[in-house]
Amino acid sequence: MIHPVILCGGSGTRLWPASRKAYPKQFARLIGDSSLYQATLRRLTGPRFTRPLVMTNEDFRFLASQQAVSTGLSDAKVVVEPALRDTGPAILVAALMVAEEDGEDALMLVAPSDHIINDAEAFLQAVDAGATAAEGGALVTFGITPDRPETGYGYLELTRKPDGDGVAIPLASFREKPDEETAERFVAAGNYLWNGGIFLFRAKDVIAAFEANAPDLMAPARAALKDGKEDLNLFRLDAESYGDCPSISFDYAVMEKASNVTTVPLDCEWSDLGAWDALWQAERPDDDGLATRGPVTAIDCRDSYLRSESGGMRLVGLGLDGVVAVAMPDAVLVADKARTQEVKELVTTLREANVTQADDYPRHHRPWGWYETLCIDDRFQVKRIMVRPGGTLSLQSHHHRSEHWIVVSGTAEVTVGEDVKLVTENQSVYIPLGTVHRMANPGKLPMYLIEVQTGSYLGEDDIVRYEDVYGRS
């Protein structure tokens, strides 16, 4: 059996504004009816695999758990990284956990949570070939057969050209993202593959590689695991110890230094969706090079991608050529398709200008559901709130605002002071300033309500929590 390890802590800023720090691309429905993370979970489920081990950070712990449960994987083990330390420490901790749970000979497959792999059978065949090499002591990486000279991916240089037999080939070197001329040379040579960032090895072999090539990670990683603790349905690594881990990628820490690295070619449709031009490609543009998603009207447009994320916002393109246009309820991106790799720098510029849309998402996800602001002014704010079945907001009060709740769908169990009652569709309740209150959904369907806040200060930090079933302070 293979232990899937899913890396689920990235922010995906190159796909801004659809992907942001508060709600990154792995959790968004960018392609199809499920998130990229959920598609990864499904791909790594079956007779070959044990329950998945999900490595994520503090901000995404509930999202990772909820989306796993909604996929039918309620036994997924979510591990919370208390600090951002890149992929090296995360994979080392995962290897230590796998070795502790199933022995040092256990196989582990490490995969990002935000990639598209459309040929599941080809992927599983490659995993089987990689397992054979890993059982012999190799550190296996997977390389995707390039179909174009792509400058947005790193490359793997193999010691020989793949001949289609699917067996692992020793790796000659890792190559960084090339310029156009170099990428064309790589593809013409035939022994270069895209670096898919997917790895397979025995726990003991990767631990030994860390000990040999990144020994300064060993002590803090072991301490973070030893002093970690179960928290609800999560496992939380010790913050102080994990914070002592140097921030370093797995490639730099281990793979580029180890001598026992081998590569399994993977010949299938794959993308890491690293920028909008990659998503345009994944959307299968028409003969004019046009791809659209959502409520979009395109007239005389070519080689472009038009996307609207809001059902109430119609995006109209006229005479566009080589353009990416993405409309969100609170932000719009219009970019030259050839420059979409620069969107990450654009987000940095927005952050420096203290633009809230740089990181905040219009829909704010919480362990009990989500809310979104419909209207806001100096002394009032109107929100739409969804509470999932069984969801419970914290018992709380506010110093600076009062609230009106109007249930528009479902039934809410509402606590106001000492009074607890059910509020159904078309009914409302008033919460005076300073009153202790709580809301829960006792039903089997999502409950929706409109909240109207009035007061001198409407910030989310005006919350005094007395009880919280999700352990938030």
Structure tokens at 316: 């109209």
Which residues, 6 or more positions from 389, have their beta carbon under 8 angstroms from its beta carbon? 441, 443, 444, 445, 446, 447
List, for residues 408-448, the tens digit of each pLDDT value. Answer: 999 999 999 999 999 999 999 999 999 999 999 999 999 99
**Together in a domain, 326 and 393:** no
Q: Which of 469, 409, 408, 411 is nearest to 443 (CA)?
A: 411
C-alpha span between 286 and 303 (Å, rounded): 9
Burial readout 109-144 (b: 16 or more C-beta within 10 A, e: otherwise): bbbbbbbbbeeeebbebbbebbbebbeeebbbbbbb
Tokens 């633009």 locate to 355
Least confident of 69-73, 142-146, 403-407: 69-73
Whether residue 328 is contained in a domain is answered as: yes
**Together in a domain, 79 and 149:** yes
Residue 224 confidence class, pLDDT cut points 50, 70, 90:
very high
List, for residues 278-317, the tens digit of each pLDDT value. Answer: 999 999 999 999 999 999 999 999 999 999 998 889 999 9
DSSP 110: E
Domain boundary (237, 253, 271) is at: 271
Tokens 């956990």 locate to 97
Whether 9 has a pLDDT exceeding 90, the answer reads no
Residue 74 confidence class, pLDDT cut points 50, 70, 90:
confident
Q: What sections of 324-456 are H helices per DSSP?
A: 343-352
C-alpha span between 136 and 114 (Å, rounded): 29
List, for residues 129-141, the tens digit of each pLDDT value. Answer: 999 999 999 999 9
CB 169 within 8 A of CB 265: yes
**Together in a domain, 259 and 307:** no
**Together in a domain, 262 and 280:** no
Domain boundary (271, 292, 310) is at: 271
For residue 271, the cross-strand partners are: 116
CATH number for position 448: 2.60.120.10
**Together in a domain, 149 and 42:** yes
CB 460 within 8 A of CB 453: no
Domain with 98, as residue range(s), is 2-271
CB 145 within 8 A of CB 266: yes
Cis before residue 389, ω within 30 degrees of 0? no
Which residues, 6 or more positions from 307, have their beta carbon under 8 angstroms from its beta carbon? 18, 292, 293, 294, 296, 315, 325, 326, 327
Whether residue 308 is contained in a domain is answered as: yes
Whether residue 329 is contained in a domain is answered as: yes
**Together in a domain, 235 and 343:** no
Q: What is the pLDDT of residue 315?
A: 97
Structural domain count of the chain: 3
Mean pLDDT of the chain: 94
Whether residue 473 is contained in a domain is answered as: no
Domain boundary (271, 297, 314) is at: 271
Structure tokens at 436: 């202790």
CB 263 within 8 A of CB 169: yes
Whether 198 has a pLDDT exceeding 90, the answer reads yes
- pTM score: 0.91
Section 344-370 average pLDDT: 94
